[in-house]
Structures are given as structure tokens and as C-alpha cells.
Amino acid sequence: MKVLIVGGVAAGTKTAAKLKREDRSIEVLVLTKDEDISYAGCGLPYYVGGMIASREELIVNTPQKYSGLTGVSVETGKEVIAVNAAEKTVTAQDVKSGEKTEYTYDRLVIATGASPAVLPIPGKDLLGVFKMRTPDDAVTMRSYVEEQNVKKAVVIGAGFIGLEVAENLKAKGVKVTVIDFANQLLPNIVDYEIALYIKKHLLKEGIRVITGTKGEEILGTKRVSAIRTSAGTLNCEMVVMAAGIRPNTAFLDGTGIEMFKGTIKVDSSLKTTVDDIYAVGDCAMVTNRITKEAQWSPMGSSANMEGRTLAQILAGEKKAYPGVLGTGVVKLPNLNCGRTGLTEVQAKAAGYDVITALVPTDDKAHYYPDASFFITKIIADKASHKLLGVQVLGTGAVDKMTDIAVMGINMGAVLEDFENADFAYAPPFSTAIHPFVQAVYVLLNKLNGTIVSMTPAEYLEGKAEGYKVVDVGLEPSVRGAVYVNLASVNGEIPGLEKEEKLLLVCAKGKRGYFLQNRMRYYGYKNTVVLEGSTFFNDVKAEALVEQVSAEEITRVKALGFLHDKRTPDKFNGRVITRNGKITAEEARTIAEAAEMFGSGEVTMTSRLTMEIQGVSFENIEPLREYLMQAGLETGGTGSKVRPVVSCKGTTCQYGLIDTFALSEEIHERFYHGFNTVKLPHKFKIAVGGCPNNCVKPDLNDLGIIGQKIPQISLEKCRGCKVCQIENVCPIQIAKVEDGKIAIDENLCNHCGRCVGKCPFKAIEDSITGYRVYIGGRWGKKVAQGRYLDKVFTDKNEVLDVVEKAILLFREQGITGERFADTVARLGFENVQEQLLEDGLLERKAENIAAQKHLKGGATC
């Protein structure tokens, strides 16, 4: 028998290899369009982020190695362009030469996979637009990011691939915005409330996510400069198309094979509607294991299993492919997500009477180092108690929770089957009652009425309207709620009526359940526990104006919100503007935010941040989320590197350097890069374009001033009686002495105004550089900074000096003292010597890891 397989990645190579192991006599030939076979398509984003170092690591097998291991014949660079089912022939074209070849078969397997959907929008062919399918795509993308020093990227598509690409671009230092046309990320993969939690998490991690938005045009001349979307224009240097995939099946037109939206429909033996033609992998439409309805599930895992099963069938075994659950897992920055089975929406659409529970638990013994959490949404059929699906979030092994559900669904398990499941337990691995079993317990309690609860989805829909919020946490955490100390409840609770509707809230839901149980005994009839409580939900009580606690005032100050002491609950929020320069779109967003969440007033601070006035405590998080959607952030307080200020630089007639570009680079490298590094006190940086000192670089902890150092050609000086160089020097240190122009290097401030002013070109050339001041300070106690002896001509050397100054302050400063005090105490010459050497950089890791200055000295 001759089996011809079209496609050489996961499904095709798995089918071929297993088939040869089943029956060595079968002649197996694989044709593939690519030069590579059996490559790790799912690993491509991690190559972009640098977690996978080399292209070779992505290649599971070369054609030669694969043929030697399996006995399968492989021909690469062959694109199949036609199938003649009646004649049992396939026509392939060489991708380089164009030469056509005809192949015969007894059985044909289509395993051509799928390719990223390229949106038909103007600008899609510009340099800087990428897709993610082959190793070469990943190599080209990573090279482009590194060589073009990409700072901003937009990813179109918030599915698994889009989010993985976003995470890995962020790991390369790129600011990423993800857009998706759907109203949520991971559409049809997780339910809305789970997607909303992930979206908020990504925003906090610095990845901007805009849903309900479509890309309309990619802008730029030769390279990408921006993308116009239905939500506005987003500046970027790179666009990644990850808006779904399309099956590679166009060549099958006219074959009579039944298809649905480009996917090949197959039966349980993976056979198409045409005799002797089969399909597996991302191009095939299989069935859902629960509903038995057709389902497209393009995953590398199912592609491999489909290929293995098909090989056994072709070799004569009586087997059937049972279908898929759509199981998937995705790694995000500091959060993982796993899912299997039906979502709540899908289960309802399939006709099930659905019941769900959302349960936060510890992922291992809470006292064990690195213990974290799981958030498990478990979905079941109310009548049969049959498990239908699971969605899990957590920082650790969400895959093990997902896999338990997979086995349960595969075996037709009901919830009771998990009730006393003897899962592995030891403190480093799990909790004594397994987290999955804990989630099952909550759902069983809902089914039997032991707990009456409200799901996060219901809470988002507004079903808590009319309920009084009761906070039963270890400490009060919900402003405006009635606080109840669980341990003191031994009867009726003052202030709570037995007939009124009460929403019980704690940290994760357990104490709410305990209180409900106790309140029932004492006659309270309308209590409801909020599932996930404050751990998962943004809980708000009826608005009450009350004094914000000192602890909360300190907490939100670290977010950039300073308490207006004239009010009990109003704050002014600092919006970071990267040196005072913002786009028109950002300015509109700030103005809108001020109207929506504040008093409508915006002020400027001395650090060129924009401060939204009159933000109520309840509006702080909504305001931050609104700003993050536009790529804006709040902050700029505490004992850290503060926002950088700069003058107008080259847009000023005296400007010698591009201060905006330099200060933005400092902002990214040190304001963002050191944002978690505690210092003895605040550390302020200013960048001036010339010695005019407009932004007072010499009164900051560290200042950089642009320099233009005149280069005198004495042979061209004619010693004129009226010297133009003397006349133009603003500080009058240029003098004609003994018939030649002289400039005292110790007095010259390198403003550059003399350059080009001599009619005889005595001073025509100059060197552009940077002077670095350290130890300046203004405010209650002014200190004039001193400049380092060296005038720097290399920008990167200046950036290294900035880093060394911050590291020196952290390492050798005393908690509470300003950098000026540190310099004075250590001595300027000592500090200068350290800043011009590399010892501080060599000790950086140890310095950053040290537990120092945890309190700090900054009060504003």
C-alpha cells in the first residue's frame, strides 16, 4: 500500500512515523511546502522572547534525520496544488523552480495545517508587519525587534498565540498593545468574567489590551509607524497578525471533499467524504467529545493524537477518534490559564441546565515557600451532576488542575466521583484537600443548598443591586460595607435585619460561607455569598463618604495618588507623561479621565507629570484601568527613581541635544526598569539641552546638560580688533590674547554659540557631548550639583553613569538621606571615581537583591 501524506509538521509526521512502525511494508511519502519538517510551532513565540536561544532548538527533526529514524520518504519544497480523487493522483509544484510533478497514492492524508489569517487592510505589506507560523517567521521577528530597536508593537488578536507573542515581546523590552475585534480576550476559550480578570492582570503587567476593536489601516511609508483602529491611532514600529488562523485547504477545491469554512469534515475514522482520503491536524474538523457536534480544535496536542490514531486505522486496526475537548493552556506574565471542555456559554448553548462555581484556593500548603493560588471555575450539568468544563487561573501548575478535569470528562465523571479522590498531597505540591476537590465541594454545596451564592458573572450583570454588602474578612477591606467579625457572631447582628438582602464578602469566599451558615441558624433569610469575593471581584458597597484609612492612603500613594487633606476621600492622581511630552490622543484621554473620575481639573507638577484632581477613593482603580487602556500610567511617588524632566532640546534655538529622545530612554531604562528598586530617598533626573539651565539639571540628584565643545583652528584666526567670537560669548570668557582667540577650558560652559560665528572659520568645528551633574537638590535645603570632570561624547556611557549613580545611592546611601547628602558624606572625588569605573555595575545583581531601604525617606 502506498500512503501519500501532504504536510510535514505535527499531524503529518506523526501519522507517517506511526504508520511505518505499525507496518514496515507500507510505502509512506511526505510532501511538504516548507524546507523544515516537524518543527515546534508552539514554541515560536518563546524564540522571539529569547527563552529559546537558537533556531535549531525549534527543529524537532531534519528531513534526513527523520527519514533515517522512521523509514519515511520526505520531499520538502513541494507545494501540492491539485488532487485528482478519481485518478488517485496529486500534483505538486516545486516552490523554487516551479516544476510540476505528479504523485500516485492508495491512501491520501491531508495534514496541511493552518496559517495565520492576514487581515485585508491597507499597509499589511509594510516592513514591520509579521505573522507567526514557521521558524523563519520567529527568526525574522526577533531580528527585527533587536536590529530596529523596536519600542512599541501592536498585536492583532487576543487568542493563545496573540497573548504568547505579547508576553514574549514584553520580555524583549517592547511596550505591547493587544487588540481584538471580540468583546473579550480569549474569545470562545474562556468565559467573560475570566477574560476580564486576565485583561486587568495584563494591564497591571504593562500589556495594554483593547477589546471590541478592529484594525483598519497600518500606517507608514516603507516601515510601520502606526496602526489606525476603530479605537484610535496607535503609534508603533511593529504589527503582529495573530487574529486567528485559516486552514490550508484551498488546493482541495473541486475534489468533492465536504468542508466547512475551509476545514475538512471527517468522520470518527478521520476519513473525508471522498474515498481513501483522510484529514488530520489543524485543517480537519473533528467532533466535540461532550456534545458530539463538529468542532475545529487546531492544537498541536490533538494534531499529534489524530495522526497516531489515523496511522493505526490505516494499518488495519479497528479504532475511532473520540473527539476533542478543546483543552488548552497559556503562559502569561505572572499568570497562567488552563481550560478544557465547555465554557458556561457553550454549555448553555448545547442545551445543558448549567451550574457553576468560581473558587479561589491555595495551590499548595499556604505556609510553604512560593505558595500561590488557583482560581477555578467549574461547570457542570445541574440534573446529572456531570462535569462539563473547567477554567483555571494561577501562577503555577494550572495544567495539573486542567488535566484532572480532562480525565474526568473523558470518563463521564460526575461531581461525586471527585468527592473523596485520593490525589497526591505534600506541602510542596498541593493542599491536604486537593484544590480541584475543594472546587467540587463548593459546587456540590450549591447543588444541595448548603451554600447560596452569586457568581462573578451575575455580579457583573448587576444582580447585587439592592443588596447590603457585609464584609466578613479578617480585616475590613470594602469601604462602605458593614463589617462583621465572624468570631463574635453568636446571635443576631446589630444593624442587620433578618429580612433584608445581604451580600456576604470576604477575601476568597470561605469566611462568607461560614457566616452564612451561622446567620441561617439565627434566622437571616436572604444572605448570598459572593463567589471569589474581593480576590476575584472589584467589590463596591453603596457610596459612603468616609475617611480613608492611613494604610490605604499609604498604599495608593505608591500608585501615584496623593491624598487631598481637605477631604476625607479625595486624591490627586499623577499621570506619567515621559518628560512632559504626550500625544494629542493621550491628552484627550487624560481630559476625559478627569471628567469621568475626577473634578475635571488637571494640573502640572514640577516633574512634568499631569495630575488629575479630585479623584474619589472608589474611582482610583477605574481611573487607572481607563488610563492603562490608552497606554498611560500613574505613579511617580516614593523612594524610587522619579519621572524624568527635560527641556525642549533641539526644538529650542539653543538646544544642543535631543533631550526628548534621551529622557525617554532614561525613563524606560530607569523609571520603568528600576520601578521596584527601593532607594534611600527619591532620585530625580533632569535633562537640559544646553547650559541655559531651564530645567535646572544641576539642582536634581542627577542632571545631564548638552554640550558643544568648540574646536579652535588657531591658524585661521586673524586676531581681529573686533572679534565676533568675543562678541557672541554669553559668559564673556572668549578673549583675543596675543593676537589669537583663546577660550579658557575651565570656564567655558560649552554652549556652542561661538561655533560658526568667525567669518574666517577659526571656530567652525565642535564636539557634541554631555556633562553630568551629581548631588543637586532643591526644596527645603538647596544643594548645587557638581559636574564630573569628564565631558562624555558617548550617550551609552552617559546612561551607564546614570545607572551607576542609582546603584551607588542604593548601595552606599543611608535610608532617609538625599543623594546630595550621600555625595557630601562620601566625598565628591570618591563618588566621581566610582562613577567612572565599573565596579558598581559588576555588583548590580547583589545590590538589587539586597533587602535595603524598604521604608525609604520620601514623603511625597
pLDDT digits (tens, 9 = 90+) for 61-109: 788 888 999 999 999 999 999 999 999 999 999 989 999 999 999 999 9
Amino acid 533 reads S
* Burial (CB count <10 Å: 0-12, 13-18, 19+), residue 818: buried
Residue 128 near residue 235, CB atoms below 8 Å: no
The dihedral over CA atoms of 34, 36, 37, 40, expressed in degrees to the nearest 10, equals -110
Dist. CA 154–CA 236, nearest whole Å: 7
Amino acid 446 reads K
Distances (CA, A) of 818 to 263, 496, 683, 708, 787: 66, 52, 8, 31, 17
- pLDDT in the model for residue 544: 61
Positions of the chain with pLDDT under 70: 543-545
Burial 253-267 (b: 16+ CB within 10 A, else e): eebebebeebbbbbe
- pLDDT in the model for residue 543: 61
Residue 560 near residue 627, CB atoms below 8 Å: no
Dist. CA 679–CA 813, nearest whole Å: 8
- pLDDT in the model for residue 545: 67
Phi, psi of 483 (to 5 degrees): -90, 135
Taking alpha carbons only, the member of 648, 630, 649 closest to residue 575 is: 630
Helices 398-410, 435-448: inter-axial angle, 10-degree rounding: 60
Taking alpha carbons only, the member of 854, 839, 562, 557 closest to residue 680 is: 854
- CB within 8 Å of 196: residues ≥ 6 apart: 184, 460
- E strands in 588-701: 602-604, 610-616, 633-634, 645-646, 685-688
User: First CA to last CA across the chain, in angstroms?
Assistant: 80
CA-only gyration radius of the chain, Å: 33
Catalytic residue check, 42: yes
Three-state DSSP state, 123: coil
Residue 87 near residue 101, CB atoms below 8 Å: no
Domains of the chain: 2-115+247-314 (3.50.50.60), 118-243 (3.50.50.60), 334-449 (3.30.390.30), 454-536 (3.40.250.10), 551-634 (3.90.480.20), 639-708+768-860 (3.30.413.10), 714-763 (3.30.70.20)
* Beta carbons within 10 angstroms of residue 68's beta carbon: 11
User: pTM above the 0.85 mark?
Assistant: no
Take residue 152 and report the three cell numbers written for it. 512599541
Residue 466 near residue 502, CB atoms below 8 Å: no
Helix (H) or strand (E) run with residue 471 in it? strand 468-471
Three-state DSSP state, 378: strand
Dist. CA 740–CA 752, nearest whole Å: 19
Phi, psi of 28 (to 5 degrees): -125, 125
Dist. CA 185–CA 166, nearest whole Å: 13
DSSP annotation of 163 reads H
Torsion-angle region of 756 (φ positive above 0: left; ψ -120 to 50: alpha; else: beta): left
* Burial (CB count <10 Å: 0-12, 13-18, 19+), residue 321: buried
Cα 621 from chain centroid? Answer: 19
Distances (CA, A) of 220 to 127, 216, 227, 584: 9, 13, 9, 19
Exposure of 39 in the CB half-sphere (CA atoms within 13 A): 24
Taking alpha carbons only, the member of 469, 434, 441, 440 closest to residue 454 is: 469
HEC sequence for 415-428: HHHHCCCCCCCCCC
- pLDDT in the model for residue 119: 87
Take residue 202 and report the three cell numbers written for it. 495584563
Three-state DSSP state, 785: coil
Dist. CA 593–CA 632, nearest whole Å: 11
Helices 828-835, 795-812: inter-axial angle, 10-degree rounding: 130
- E strands in 220-334: 226-229, 232-235, 238-241, 245-247, 259-260, 263-265, 277-279, 284-287, 294-295, 328-332
Order of strands across the sheet that contains 100-104: 78-84, 89-94, 100-104
Residue 194 near residue 536, CB atoms below 8 Å: no
**Which is catalytic among the residues 42, 652, 694, 720?**
42
Dist. CA 81–CA 63, nearest whole Å: 21
